[in-house]
């Protein structure tokens, strides 16, 4: 009798704790040493095989050698520890008993599969060996049990697989022999070969092995087994797997488990089949059982695509399988059992499952269950449906959808089924897809779009001058620039697809050509962009626009109830503000006023202001701009009725507004009646060596206070005008690039004085203006305690903060930063996800010290990171009041903020529990 375990020991056992020394885990006949929660030890596949066995699902018996052995194996010079072999043999004996067959037996030979199975799914990256245990003797026994053709077909598949995976003999040597035999026999398909053909083929294959290795093919099944187990452990280190791990951030330390399992056969005759199914439709999320199968086939035949698989039921019928009979019709008993099992599995795992099954002589066996991959559309629908069915909570439903994946729902995507010829890769700067004819200038883009053509704007880099072309284009492609370059930021704001920093592009504007990786394109040629993957494709690839259904809105409602952090948007026009509001924005976190200055009808007045020779001339030019700005702001206040609107005063260096090229200079000279020499002299005067660190941001307000005064007046008057029409307004004025408290102190006084002055003409008590600052320079973050004395709010400009604290140009990083990710120096692009150890530290210091001086200081973020799920989690942890992002990211941010809150609440609960215990 065994002593009853103490509760702690039982808990540890459940978590696999006492199993630390156990390295081989048996499963079969309703009993299993492992369970679903033991993924770390058993890998995903092993854990699920154990769990299915416990549930009473028919699973071929087997055993899992744990992931720990993988590390031991590699440490011990790629040798299997003797104790592991001993335990494996004991487990194998149990498998033999369950199956009533013996490994290596000449009469009733047990065959096994040897498969990898890591903690995280790594599809197709590692190796497997099937039909192991066959040799010249056992094949005869198998032939008697089944039939001769089947037995020799299995043997030749085994020798080939073992030869390839274990003995590392080039696959093609076997394939060539098979093809030669088919030629001689005039056979198109393998299935046309006879038993004696296959017997001859096996002999050939055995010869190939001997020729290539210098030793005969191992006939001892135990020797085969240890060699195959070793090969699977070795495959954890193969190039494919290492690359996959690097891309998906899977630690090398984890290792793979090895699953050794009794073979069952779907290819033994017409009462046999093999198939895959999903417990719900993986592309629509609809609640119906969906899958396909092949009669008289092995699993690999389903994937090989030689025969058209049959639908398992009517709803799974596709165009090419419409006439084929279903499993439900052909094998109703097995189908009914499959239905019973899939329902059980889905209920147990409380998620959509992807299952693999085999039917051997009418008996159903389950080979695998795992969480099924799905489209975002399906993910949202399944999560909402399952919560409604009571299978999961609403909180779980919210957690189940990856925020980033929502992008797929909000933009057109390339048809996943369509062939794609990728000619170059850049940064996935703004998601979605675009198909159009190449244009190399913003003016061409506008002109051709007006004529009804779809165009893709291709530029070395974009500047504010290109806005109209970007607007007109379907998508934007640049050779230079990172994730926060002008092209990237503006395209995201417009919800347009953009591939930026595609360094291999060679653009010749003069010739109207571009070269890329050996392909040449001319203006007018059609290309396709995949902004979600950063790919450039030749020709037109069809796109699909997913629909936003009721499930999406429902999930968003649940997310909104769970989150604490508010979500605002970065928008500069009433149009963008309106879109963002439809997506659920709760205000504007950043209105960049400079974008308004580039409108064709006002750029001249801006240039006049900059070229002005004295204060009076500047005031005259500003007087022209005032009513235009007032109109802009009024439109935005109306679009955001009742919600806060943060307007940032002018930020970019003045030279950005000045004419470029002779033609533009001529235009300015003519319009303003000045001299070309004056314009050129001014151009020279404002030229800077390092404009991003030069005369920009609040420095403009310090040196040209009249510009900021005009903007403040326009904001206040617009607010009064809108408030008078009965709409609630909440203007917030924000200063850019503050680095020293003195700058803020002075500019705050200037703003307050201007408002006081303006109030005399508009005594509108309902308009209250708050004044805050961006924190986008390290010095501002470090001196936030002083700065907050003059700020009603902080908004982190993490684009510039990353640029300035990292000394990393946001417009040039695209050239070399991808290499940093490839070499593993950085896990993420710091312009996409906040660099928590560096930039994040500055943000923490600034938030804490700002709130020490001014408790309750409102804190938000308006850099591009405000739409990145990981960064939102970080900001929520720092106690931010809001995040602000481009309109199309608003739903992503709402979901990410809800998930952040759920995670934080979990952490708080764990801390409380920890405190109670200590
Ligand atoms: C920033 O720097 O993060 C920011 C929001 O401002 P801009 O991108 O306009 O420089
Ligand atoms: Mg900035």
Structure-token pair, residue 910:
């764990």
The closest of 85, 143, 507, 154 to 297, measured between CA atoms, is 154
Q: Look at residue 615 and tell me whether its pLDDT is greater than 60.
A: yes
* Residue that wins the pLDDT comparison between 571 and 418: 571
Pairing verdict, β 535-538 and 422-425: antiparallel
The closest of 471, 457, 456 to 541, measured between CA atoms, is 456
Structure-token pair, residue 245:
């791990």
Contacts of 345 (CB under 8 A, 6+ apart): 52, 55, 57, 279, 353, 355, 369
141 backbone dihedrals φ, ψ, rounded to 5°: -60, -45
Q: Quick check: CB of 353 below 6 Å from ligand 1?
A: no
Q: What is the Cα–Cα distance from 893 to 563, expressed in whole angstroms?
A: 10
pLDDT value of position 121 = 79
pLDDT value of position 8 = 45
What confidence tens digit (pLDDT) does each residue in 563-609 have?
999 999 999 999 999 989 999 999 999 999 988 888 777 888 899 88
Q: Look at residue 843 and tell me whether its pLDDT is greater than 50.
A: yes
Which segments of 26-170 does DSSP mark as H helices, in order?
39-54, 67-75, 82-99, 138-145, 148-165
720 within 8 A of 762, measured Cβ to Cβ: yes
| CA angle centred on 654, ends 650 and 657, rounded to 5° | 95
665 within 8 A of 676, measured Cβ to Cβ: yes
788 within 8 A of 741, measured Cβ to Cβ: no
Mutate to test the pocket of ligand 1, among 487, 490, 774 (most ligand atoms within 8 A of CB): 774
- Global pTM reads 0.82
Q: Which listed ligand is nearest to 801 at the C-alpha?
A: 1
Give 469-474 contacts, CB < 8 A, sequence gap 24+: 469/439, 469/441, 469/442, 469/443, 469/444, 469/445, 470/442, 470/445, 470/494, 470/496, 471/446, 472/442, 472/445, 472/446, 472/448, 473/434, 473/436, 473/439, 473/445, 473/449, 474/434, 474/435, 474/436
Distance 774 CA to ligand 2 centre (A): 8
Q: Which listed ligand is nearest to 648 at the C-alpha?
A: 1
Structure-token pair, residue 559:
């997310």
Q: Quick check: CB of 867 below 6 Å from ligand 1?
A: no
Quote the mean pLDDT of the chain.
91
Mean pLDDT, rounded, for 758-771: 93
Residue 794, SS3 per DSSP: strand
The DSSP bridge partners found for residue 882 are 566, 860
pLDDT value of position 394 = 98
862 is catalytic: yes
Contacts of 817 (CB under 8 A, 6+ apart): 482, 808, 826, 829, 831
Q: Look at residue 306 and tell me whether its pLDDT is greater than 80.
A: no
Q: How far apart, in Å, are the Cα atoms of 906 and each of 461, 561, 564, 910?
A: 45, 17, 15, 6
Q: What is the Cα–Cα distance from 784 to 789, expressed in whole angstroms?
A: 9
Q: Which atom of ligand 1 is nearest to the CA of 803?
A: 2
Most confident of the ranges 5-14, 279-288, 818-827, 885-894:
885-894
Q: What is the DSSP letter of 556?
A: H
Q: How far apart, in Å, are the Cα atoms of 879 and each of 328, 835, 873, 900?
A: 56, 17, 10, 11
Place of tokens 């928590």: 836
pLDDT value of position 407 = 81
H/E/C letters for each residue in 126-149?
Answer: CCEEEEECCCCCHHHHHHHHCCHH
Distance 507 CA to ligand 1 centre (A): 28
The DSSP bridge partners found for residue 770 are 732
Q: Look at residue 380 and tell me whether its pLDDT is greater than 70.
A: yes
Polymer length of the chain: 918
* Residue that wins the pLDDT comparison between 280 and 301: 280
Query: What's the sign of the alpha-carbon dihedral 120, 126, 130, 133?
Result: negative
Mutate to test the pocket of ligand 1, among 736, 806, 884 (most ligand atoms within 8 A of CB): 736
Q: What is the Cα–Cα distance from 642 to 517, expressed in whole angstroms?
A: 52
Place of tokens 């920093």: 501
Residue 211, SS3 per DSSP: helix
> Phi/psi class of residue 186: alpha, beta or left (left: φ > 0; alpha: ψ in -120 to 50)?
left
| Cα–chain center distance at 387 | 24
pLDDT value of position 319 = 66
Neighbours of ion ligand 2 (CB under 5 A): 776, 797, 800
Q: Quick check: CB of 590 below 6 Å from ligand 1?
A: yes
Q: What is the Cα–Cα distance from 453 to 439, expressed in whole angstroms?
A: 11
Q: What is the Cα–Cα distance from 174 to 172, expressed in whole angstroms?
A: 5
Mean pLDDT, rounded, for 440-468: 90
pLDDT value of position 340 = 97
377 is catalytic: no
213 within 8 A of 167, measured Cβ to Cβ: yes
What confidence tens digit (pLDDT) does each residue in 28-86 have?
999 999 999 999 999 999 999 999 999 999 999 999 999 999 988 988 889 999 999 99
> Residue with the nearest Cα to atom 6 of ligand 1?
797
Q: What is the Cα–Cα distance from 63 to 56, expressed in whole angstroms?
A: 16
Torsion of CA 422, 425, 431, 434, to 10 degrees: -50
> Strand order of the sheet with strand 505-508?
505-508, 513-516, 519-522
Q: Quick check: CB of 862 below 6 Å from ligand 1?
A: yes
Residue 738, SS3 per DSSP: coil
430 within 8 A of 531, measured Cβ to Cβ: yes
566 backbone dihedrals φ, ψ, rounded to 5°: -80, 155
Q: Look at residue 17 and tell me whether its pLDDT is greater than 80.
A: no
The DSSP bridge partners found for residue 259 are 64, 115
The DSSP bridge partners found for residue 310 are 293
Contacts of 127 (CB under 8 A, 6+ apart): 116, 165, 231, 232, 235, 238
Mean pLDDT, rounded, for 661-667: 85
Q: What is the Cα–Cα distance from 383 to 764, expressed in whole angstroms?
A: 49
141 within 8 A of 107, measured Cβ to Cβ: yes
364 backbone dihedrals φ, ψ, rounded to 5°: -90, 135
The DSSP bridge partners found for residue 109 are 102
* Residue that wins the pLDDT comparison between 239 and 901: 901
The closest of 788, 777, 791 to 852, measured between CA atoms, is 788
In percent, the amount of the chain with pLDDT more than 90 equals: 68
| CA angle centred on 349, ends 35 and 244, rounded to 5° | 75
Confidence of residue 190 (pLDDT cuts 50, 70, 90): confident
Cβ neighbours, 10 Å, residue 880: 25
The closest of 647, 497, 584, 576 to 897, measured between CA atoms, is 584
pLDDT value of position 1 = 35
| Cα–chain center distance at 522 | 33
pLDDT value of position 302 = 63
Distance 810 CA to ligand 2 centre (A): 10
Of 377, 411, 486, 655, which residue is the catalytic one? 486
* Residue that wins the pLDDT comparison between 491 and 572: 572
255 within 8 A of 118, measured Cβ to Cβ: yes
Cβ neighbours, 10 Å, residue 377: 20
Q: Quick check: CB of 797 below 6 Å from ligand 1?
A: yes
- In the structure, how many helices (H) and strands (E) does the chain have? 36, 34
Q: What is the Cα–Cα distance from 86 to 65, expressed in whole angstroms?
A: 12
Axis crossing angle, helix 195-213 with helix 148-165, rounded to the nearest 10: 20
pLDDT value of position 320 = 67
165 within 8 A of 231, measured Cβ to Cβ: yes
Pairing verdict, β 497-500 and 505-508: unpaired
Residue 640, SS3 per DSSP: coil
Q: Look at residue 285 and tell me whether its pLDDT is greater than 60.
A: yes
Mutate to test the pocket of ligand 1, among 796, 797, 882 (most ligand atoms within 8 A of CB): 797
794 within 8 A of 788, measured Cβ to Cβ: yes
pLDDT value of position 428 = 84
300 within 8 A of 293, measured Cβ to Cβ: no
The closest of 510, 526, 518 to 477, measured between CA atoms, is 526
Q: Look at residue 15 and tell me whether its pLDDT is greater than 60.
A: no
Distance 571 CA to ligand 1 centre (A): 12
What confidence tens digit (pLDDT) does each residue in 227-281 have?
999 999 999 988 888 877 876 778 888 999 999 999 999 988 889 999 999 999 9
Mean pLDDT, rounded, for 415-432: 87
Q: Look at residue 3 and tell me whether its pLDDT is greater than 50.
A: no
Confidence of residue 685 (pLDDT cuts 50, 70, 90): confident
**Longest Cα pair distance anywhere in the chain, in angstroms?**
106
Mutate to test the pocket of ligand 1, among 485, 809, 863, 868 (most ligand atoms within 8 A of CB): 863
Q: Give DSSP secondary structure letters for 799-830.
A: HHHHHHHHT--TTTGGGTHHHHHHTTS-SS-T
Q: What is the Cα–Cα distance from 443 to 560, expressed in whole angstroms?
A: 42
Mean pLDDT, rounded, for 7-33: 68
Q: Look at residue 13 and tell me whether its pLDDT is greater than 50.
A: no
pLDDT value of position 9 = 44
481 within 8 A of 461, measured Cβ to Cβ: yes
Of 70, 862, 875, 885, which residue is the catalytic one? 862
> Residue with the nearest Cα to atom 10 of ligand 1?
800
Most confident of the ranges 508-512, 544-548, 573-577, 894-898:
894-898
Q: What is the Cα–Cα distance from 774 to 737, expressed in whole angstroms?
A: 6
Distance 506 CA to ligand 1 centre (A): 29
């Amino acid at each position: 009798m065994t002593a009853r375990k103490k509760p702690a020991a039982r808990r540890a056992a459940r978590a696999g704790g006492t199993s630390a020394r156990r390295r081989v885990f048996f499963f079969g006949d309703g009993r299993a040493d492992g369970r679903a929660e033991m993924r770390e030890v058993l890998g995903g596949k092993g854990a699920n095989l154990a769990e299915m066995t416990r549930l009473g699902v028919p699973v071929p018996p087997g055993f899992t050698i744990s992931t720990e052995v993988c590390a031991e194996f590699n440490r011990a010079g790629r040798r299997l520890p003797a104790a592991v072999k001993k335990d494996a043999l004991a487990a194998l004996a149990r498998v033999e008993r369950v199956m009533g067959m013996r490994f290596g037996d000449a009469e009733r030979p047990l065959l096994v599969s040897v498969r990898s199975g890591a903690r995280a799914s790594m599809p197709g990256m590692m190796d497997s060996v099937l039909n192991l245990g066959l040799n010249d003797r056992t094949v005869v026994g198998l032939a008697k049990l089944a039939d001769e053709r089947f037995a020799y077909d299995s043997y030749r598949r085994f020798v080939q697989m073992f030869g390839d995976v274990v003995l590392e003999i080039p696959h093609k040597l076997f394939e060539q022999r098979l093809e030669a035999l088919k030629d001689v026999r005039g056979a198109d398909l393998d299935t046309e070969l006879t038993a004696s053909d296959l017997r001859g083929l096996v002999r050939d294959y055995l010869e190939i092995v001997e020729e290539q290795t210098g030793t005969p093919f191992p006939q001892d099944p135990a020797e085969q087994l240890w060699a195959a187990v070793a090969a699977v452990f070795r495959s954890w280190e193969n190039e494919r797997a290492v690359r996959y791990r690097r891309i998906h951030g899977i630690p090398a330390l984890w290792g793979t488990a090895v699953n050794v399992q009794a073979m069952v056969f779907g290819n033994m005759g017409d009462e046999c089949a093999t198939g895959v199914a999903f417990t719900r439709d993986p592309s629509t999320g609809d609640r119906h059982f969906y899958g396909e199968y092949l009669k008289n086939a092995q699993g690999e035949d389903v994937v090989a695509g030689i025969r058209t698989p049959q639908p398992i039921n009517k709803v799974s019928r596709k165009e090419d399988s419409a006439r084929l009979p279903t499993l439900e019709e052909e094998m109703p008993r097995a189908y009914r059992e499959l239905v019973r099992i899939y329902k059980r599995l889905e209920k147990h795992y409380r998620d959509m499952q992807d299952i693999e099954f085999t039917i051997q002589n009418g008996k159903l066996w389950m080979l695998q269950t795992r969480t099924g991959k799905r489209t975002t559309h399906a993910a949202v629908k399944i999560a909402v449906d399952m919560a409604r069915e009571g299978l999961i909570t609403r909180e779980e439903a919210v957690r189940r959808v990856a925020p980033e994946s929502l992008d797929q729902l909000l933009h057109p995507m390339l048809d996943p089924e369509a062939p794609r010829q990728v000619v170059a890769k850049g940064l996935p700067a703004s998601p979605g897809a675009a198909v159009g004819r190449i244009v190399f200038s913003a003016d061409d883009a506008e002109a051709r779009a007006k004529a009804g053509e779809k165009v893709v704007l291709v530029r070395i880099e974009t500047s504010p001058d290109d806005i109209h072309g970007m607007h007109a284009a379907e998508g934007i492609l640049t050779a230079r620039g990172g994730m926060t370059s002008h092209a990237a930021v503006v395209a995201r704001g417009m919800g347009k697809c953009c591939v930026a920093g595609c360094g291999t592009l060679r653009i010749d504007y003069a010739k109207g050509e571009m070269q890329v990786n050996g392909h040449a394109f001319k203006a007018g040629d059609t290309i396709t962009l995949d902004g979600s993957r950063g790919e450039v494709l030749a020709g037109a690839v069809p796109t699909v626009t997913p629909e936003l259904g009721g499930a999406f809105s429902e999930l968003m409602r649940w997310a909104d109830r769970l989150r604490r952090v508010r979500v605002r948007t970065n928008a500069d026009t009433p149009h963008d503000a309106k879109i963002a509001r439809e997506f659920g924005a709760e205000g504007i976190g950043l209105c960049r006023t400079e974008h308004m200055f580039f409108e064709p009808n006002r750029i001249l007045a801006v240039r006049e202001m900059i070229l002005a020779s004295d204060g009076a001339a500047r005031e005259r030019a500003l007087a022209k701009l005032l009513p235009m700005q007032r109109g802009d702001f009024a439109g935005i206040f109306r679009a955001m009725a009742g919600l806060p609107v943060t307007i940032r005063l002018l930020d970019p260096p003045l030279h950005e507004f000045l004419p470029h090229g002779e033609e533009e200079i001529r235009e300015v000279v003519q319009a303003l009646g000045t001299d070309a020499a004056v314009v050129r002299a001014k151009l020279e005067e404002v030229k800077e060596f390092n404009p991003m660190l030069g005369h920009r941001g609040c420095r403009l307000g310090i040196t040209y206070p009249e510009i900021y005064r005009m903007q403040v007046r326009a904001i206040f008057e617009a607010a009064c005008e809108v408030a008078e029409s009965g709409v609630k307004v909440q203007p917030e004025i924000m200063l850019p690039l503050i680095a020293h408290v003195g700058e803020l102190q002075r500019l705050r006084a200037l703003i307050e004085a201007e408002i006081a002055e303006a109030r005399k003409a508009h005594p509108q008590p309902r308009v209250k203006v708050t004044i805050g600052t961006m924190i986008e320079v390290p010095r501002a973050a470090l001196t936030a305690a002083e700065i907050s004395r003059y700020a009603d709010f902080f908004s982190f400009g993490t684009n510039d903060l990353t640029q300035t604290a990292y000394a990393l140009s946001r417009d040039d990083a695209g050239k070399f930063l991808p290499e940093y990710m490839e070499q593993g120096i950085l896990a993420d692009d710091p312009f996409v996800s906040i660099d928590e150890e560096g930039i994040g530290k500055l943000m923490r210091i600034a938030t804490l010290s700002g709130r020490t001086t001014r408790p309750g200081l409102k804190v938000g973020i308006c850099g591009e990171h405000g739409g990145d799920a990981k960064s939102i989690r970080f900001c929520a942890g720092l106690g931010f009041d809001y995040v602000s992002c481009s309109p199309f990211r608003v739903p992503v941010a709402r979901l990410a903020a809800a998930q952040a809150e759920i995670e934080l609440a979990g952490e708080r609960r764990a801390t409380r529990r920890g405190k109670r215990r200590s």
